[in-house]
A and B are shown apart, each in its own frame.
Chain A
Amino acid sequence: MTMRVSTQQMYGTGVGGIQRLQSSLYTLQNQVNTGRKIVSPKDDPVGSAQALLVSQSKSVNTLFVTNQKAATTKLSTLDSTLAGVSSELQNIYEKAIAAGNGSYSDGDRAAVAKELAERLGSLIGLANTQDGTGRYVFAGVQSTTRPFSLSGNSPSATNPTHYSLDPPNAYVDYNGDDGLQKLQVGADDFVETNIPGSDIFMRVKDSSGTPTFRSVFDAVQNMVDFLNTNGASASDPAYTNALGDISAAMDNVTNARATVGARLSSLESMMNTAADRTLQYDEQLSNLQDLDYASALTAVSQQKLQLEAAQATFAATAKLSLFNYI
């Protein structure tokens, strides 16, 4: 049975169909314009939520990369400062060895002592290194406190090693702390961007890990004091002790450099992993959000065809009327 169709309905249906097609063409146009298949969350609620989570992961990853770079910069600076400390100590050690030569006169030794005293001064200067913004790098977290200062103690008369931490009679005091500056460089990874001065300069351990209880400065000052002693002999335990202490100090600084190097290399591999992750996140985001232009444009031409057909049909049927014939 045929259904009666009212004239109003014929117009209404025709216009309604055209509007529907125009609306979906508009949606497609919006997608093509923005290059996104999700223009607003309703287009893909699950995808939108996932995209948010992935882009947070990506941002957090970027944040870690930023921190990794910052940590690398700090540690590289630290390493070059320590290299300076190392070479200074190396120099001191060589001069001290030479001064042990039996042919040196008191005057020769006093000259060496003078040079060593100056080098000690620059060593203390290095230990009080400040970064570009004036923060002391070897003060633990007390970066505005000058970490190393002369104690003003006199060399101990009873103690053969003159200056030492135990019994306490230090040449140079440490005013910083053991505080560590940490940066988050991974979900559960933190990297320490400093080594407290106490570990590098004060708590010196020799190559076998035995503590000397003499700071780097105590060791050098003891050597200076020894060389300034008239008639000093290389066989004096004061000389061998001081020399051993300086050697231990060198080992200690070398250890610190090794620690810094290890941190730098683990940061490097983290940065590589992070770069891979960034690519993965980008790809995930692209899959979730980006428009597939090929299929979008195909859809556009299909809908265009449909719209044209609907318009043509409407125009044709609207013209038909029995009144034209009577």
Chain B
Amino acid sequence: MSRVVLVTGGSRGIGLACARRFQADGERVAVTYKTAPPDPAGAESTAPLLAVACDVTDPGAVDAAFTTVEAELGAIEVLVCAAGITDDGLVLRMSEERWSRVVETDLTGTFRAVRRALPAMLRARAGRIVVISSVVGYLGNAGQANYAAAKAGQIGFARSLAREVASRSVTVNVVCPGMVATDMLAALDEDQTAALASRVPLGRIAEPEEVASAVCFLASAEASYITGAVLAVDGGLGMGH
């Protein structure tokens, strides 16, 4: 029995990899995107993704996007919050705007999507919520205080929520990717990237699919006893935290 899955930020990177993996598993998948819809090229599945434009910093847009998905596919049973941005800079020189926009998109955007998805999951007494955070959330990273704050915030949020809704058999878990080959990483320069990769025990950057498999596991029936967990998919980078 296929489930309705919504991936925010599912037009690229980790979000898209998750969407494609769910599709391959036979689920009915929708994605939200801000900049551009997913590139259809390279899709192995013949079923198109339902792509809905949505800026997660706009509560009205989130509501409208969910309503569209519900009308087309049905109540959302699995929510993956992968919408996120970076806007790097040192704290000393970070403007209010630069701080706010990352926190708004990455943390508050997660809150909005989750809050909108919850009623149906609670009524159904079943649901899976997977929040994509980052190893940076607990390691920190110079120049990414705004991003790291939002990512750490997602962990506290997800765990609190997990406690609130556990009685309704809705699980809420967090995946913390390390360095992954996406547009977000491409924003760093070559030297920075090579330096970071050399610090990873597994000595390389991940492919988005390697994060998607962890997400799909947590969303699966096999993860029925897992909630409030923080699963690192980081090649060992954040080991011990």
The judgment on whether A and B are partners is no
Question: Which B residues have a C-beta under 8 Å from some C-beta of A?
Answer: none
